[in-house]
Amino acid sequence: MTIMTWQDYISSDPNICHGRACITGTRIMVSVVLDNLAEGHTPEEIVQNYPSLTIEAVKAVKLYEKEKLQSGFPFSRE
């Protein structure tokens, strides 16, 4: 069994979305996924609305957020 890490799904490139964290291979910013989750959408609904995403990518966003908050990293809107 392979352990999922958010680094497998999230990246930042200064040439894509001004360097904001995005789902790798897309221009979908982490903040868009977090906004959808905050609005009460399920991961399945988010994937349905953004077909280039996977359930695993949405889970990776949750892990990314959790790690940022636990590390004391100042939270900024992506």
CATH number, residue 25: 1.10.10.10
pLDDT tens digits, one per residue of 19-73? 999 999 999 999 999 999 999 999 999 999 999 999 999 999 999 999 888 887 6
Q: Which of 71, 14, 6, 8 is nearest to 34 (CA)?
A: 6
* Total tally of structural domains belonging to the chain: 1
- Identify the pLDDT of residue 45: 98
Within-domain flag for 11: yes
- Identify the pLDDT of residue 3: 84
Q: Which of 50, 45, 15, 48 is nearest to 30 (CA)?
A: 50
Q: Which residue range is the domain that position 21 belongs to?
A: 6-68
Within-domain flag for 75: no
* Token pair of 56 as six digits: 């695993």
pTM, whole model, 2 decimals? Answer: 0.85
Within-domain flag for 1: no
